[in-house]
Chains A and B, each alone.
Chain A
Amino acid sequence: MLGTGLLKGLAVTAKNFVGSFHDPKRYTTVEYPEQPTKLPENYRNFPFLVFDGEQPIDGLRCVACKICEAECPPQCIYIIPDRDEKGRPTKKPKVFDLDVSVCMSCQICVEVCPFDAIKMDQHFEIATADRFNGLLLHREDLAKSDAYYHSIHPTEAAQVDEILAEAKRKAEAKAKPAAPAAPAAVKPPEPPAPAV
């Protein structure tokens, strides 16, 4: 009969309309600024720099190796390595600028960083009236503590801590046999600790 399809469709609409007043599963609207949703752990926004300890700038893990600058597809990272009075590199960034108006949040800087120094943030409310300087983040704005990193990506941060501890153990194991070997071979180097 002509019109049956129409009536069927209207019945579906009516069912949804009535249901929207009774079924809590259908309350889909979240009143955002007052009531923020919980972001998934993997959610990523713009990058930030992790620092260990209390001092944001001195504790930066970044060694200004410029790998992220080279790999960044839209080229939004700009680094100048710091040098001491004699002109030797101090393995710290003097300038670390990130233009978030160019950044496309692709996470490639995070993947290529060998020092786990740059990570993805979850802070997205960065709207500003100044489209040039307001969106150019300097190392002071980018430096965030390891504790903050743990609070936004707990699982990933725990894995990173394990990797860093493992690297430290390896570095120490490597340094140990070299140091005592020079005066006299007092005792053989200890076998490296088991991985887990």
Chain B
Amino acid sequence: MTTAFTPTPSGAHVRAVHDPFHGDLLEISMGPHHPSTHGVFRMMVTLDGENVVKLKPVFGYLHRNHEKLGENTSYLGSMPYTDRLDYFCSMTNNWAYALAVEKLAGQPVPERAEYLRVILAELTRLLNHTCLAGFLLQDTGASGTPLMYAFREREKILDLFEALSGSRMMCNYQRFGGCRIDATPAWLAAVRGIVDGYGAFLDEYEELITGNEILLARTQNVGVLSPALAVSAGITGPMLRAAGVDYDLRKVDGYGLYPRFDFRVPLGAHGDTYDRYMVRMLEMRESIGILRQALAAIPDGPIMDPKAKIRGFRPKPGEAYGRIEGPKGEIGFYLISDGTPNPYRYRVRPPSLINLTVLEDLCLGHTLADAVIILGSIDIVLGEVDR
């Protein structure tokens, strides 16, 4: 009998596969419709007892040919499809795509539109992280209550999006060279109201959850991601920062108007699930700060560059890569133009897919129930993973 025990940071043990006394390993197919897989995602989990010894992610059930569609649609026509990548964060997807096209065409953006973009991107970050906190708690088994608290706040932000862009989730709001509809003073006042109340909600939510002993026991030291692995796997976003790597495109690239705003980048110390949750809670507080500054400084003026073209848009041959710090990580669009109305190549760099690649490394040695939380803390949206 071979008993090769490999201790893991959590203290769990992975037993060697050939063990005549403990029988065969058990392979479970979780998904594609398991509620905790956050969409149509399948995990082929090999279990030894309750511990994961092998995990094979299977995805592609939601493949919609997004990149090929982008090559056969006009530049403007791809904008509504970007909403459907990560349907929680359509505003940031729109921005990343608009940024790539603006780089390609050398299109300037008026100042008011840039402010609106920052405001909408930070609202999206609040929305996404709030939902994540709710879903993570749902995954740990706190069925209902925290998720409903989160959704209550999300609803307020979605109402703002609906009042501005006409749609709650499929906003289709940004255009090359500006935005589609100007924000009214009443809308900006409504944003101010929500931003002012958001701190109180975060306090309430943290009191509800953050110190909860059960949550601490379930998340601390679970799914530890080392900084070296995070960097070499190309992880971005809150997941990378939770591992302690100081990399935020808002600071690194300084795109849009972010250099004008004063904010800090929260970093984690352990890279475990709890850090990933906590980094997001702290990021929301920074987002509120950015929103306050942006709302105080937003100027009047046009929202669309007068030279911007809506119809018959044909950028000169060339290539461009536009990326922004989306709520889930670096969302980027790579475009090659050959001078025709359609891009020659349209490539999306989805943060969810690349963050998902380390799932097996995080889950090995943990129990099946922990794998669910780890997947939740990675924060994926299958619309973006499969495209």
List A contacts of B73 (CB < 8 A). Answer: 73
CB–CB A105/B76 < 8 A: no
Whether A108 contacts B77 in the complex (CB less than 8 A), given A5-B213, A6-B213, A9-B209, comes out as: yes
- Of B158-166, B261-269, B348-356, the one with at least 4 CB within 8 A of chain A: B158-166
List A contacts of B167 (CB < 8 A). Answer: 43-44, 105
Q: Main SS of chain B's interface residues?
A: helix
B: contact size bracket: 35 or more
Q: How far is the CA of A95 from the CA of B164 in the complex (A)?
A: 33
Q: How far is the CA of A101 from the CA of B80 in the complex (A)?
A: 16
Q: How far is the CA of A6 from the CA of B77 in the complex (A)?
A: 50
CB–CB B212/A71 < 8 A: no
CB–CB A73/B81 < 8 A: yes
Q: In this complex, what residue of B is CB-closest to A8?
A: B207
Verify if B74 is at the interface (C-beta below 8 Å from A).
yes
CB–CB A8/B310 < 8 A: no
List A contacts of B207 (CB < 8 A). Answer: 8-9, 11-12
List B contacts of A157 (CB < 8 A). Answer: none
List B contacts of A28 (CB < 8 A). Answer: 152, 155
CB–CB A40/B311 < 8 A: no
Verify if A104 is at the interface (C-beta below 8 Å from B).
yes
CB–CB B310/A111 < 8 A: yes
List A contacts of B165 (CB < 8 A). Answer: 42
Q: How far is the CA of A107 from the CA of B167 in the complex (A)?
A: 10
Verify if B257 is at the interface (C-beta below 8 Å from A).
no
- Residue-wise interface mask of B (162-185) relative to A, using a CB-CB cutoff of 8 A (1 in contact, 0 not): 111111001010000000110000
Q: How far is the CA of A105 from the CA of B53 in the complex (A)?
A: 46
CB–CB A8/B211 < 8 A: yes
Q: How many residues of A contact B (CB 8 A)?
A: 29
CB–CB B162/A108 < 8 A: no
CB–CB A107/B213 < 8 A: no
Q: In this complex, what residue of B is CB-closest to A120?
A: B166
- Residue-wise interface mask of A (69-110) relative to B, using a CB-CB cutoff of 8 A (1 in contact, 0 not): 001110000000000000000000000000000001111100
Verify if A192 is at the interface (C-beta below 8 Å from B).
no
- The residue that A9 contacts in the complex, of B74, B77, B212, B310, with Cβ under 8 A, is B212
CB–CB B213/A2 < 8 A: yes
Q: How far is the CA of A4 from the CA of B145 in the complex (A)?
A: 19
Whether A43 contacts B162 in the complex (CB less than 8 A), given A3-B213, A5-B212, A71-B76, comes out as: yes
List A contacts of B58 (CB < 8 A). Answer: none
- 30 of the cross-chain contacts (CB-CB < 8 Å) are A5-B210, A5-B212, A8-B207, A8-B211, A9-B207, A9-B208, A9-B209, A9-B212, A12-B207, A40-B162, A42-B164, A42-B166, A42-B181, A43-B167, A44-B167, A71-B77, A72-B77, A73-B73, A73-B81, A104-B80, A104-B170, A105-B167, A106-B79, A106-B170, A106-B172, A108-B76, A108-B77, A108-B79, A108-B172, A112-B310
16 additional A-B pairs beyond A3-B213, A73-B77, A108-B79, beta carbons within 8 Å, are A5-B213, A5-B215, A5-B216, A8-B211, A9-B211, A9-B212, A13-B208, A40-B166, A42-B163, A43-B162, A71-B77, A73-B78, A106-B79, A111-B310, A112-B310, A112-B311
Enumerate chain B interface residues (CB-CB to A < 8 A): 73-74, 76-81, 145, 149, 152, 155, 159, 162-167, 170, 172, 180-181, 204, 207-216, 310-311
Enumerate chain A interface residues (CB-CB to B < 8 A): 2-6, 8-9, 11-13, 16, 28, 40-44, 67, 71-73, 104-108, 111-112, 120
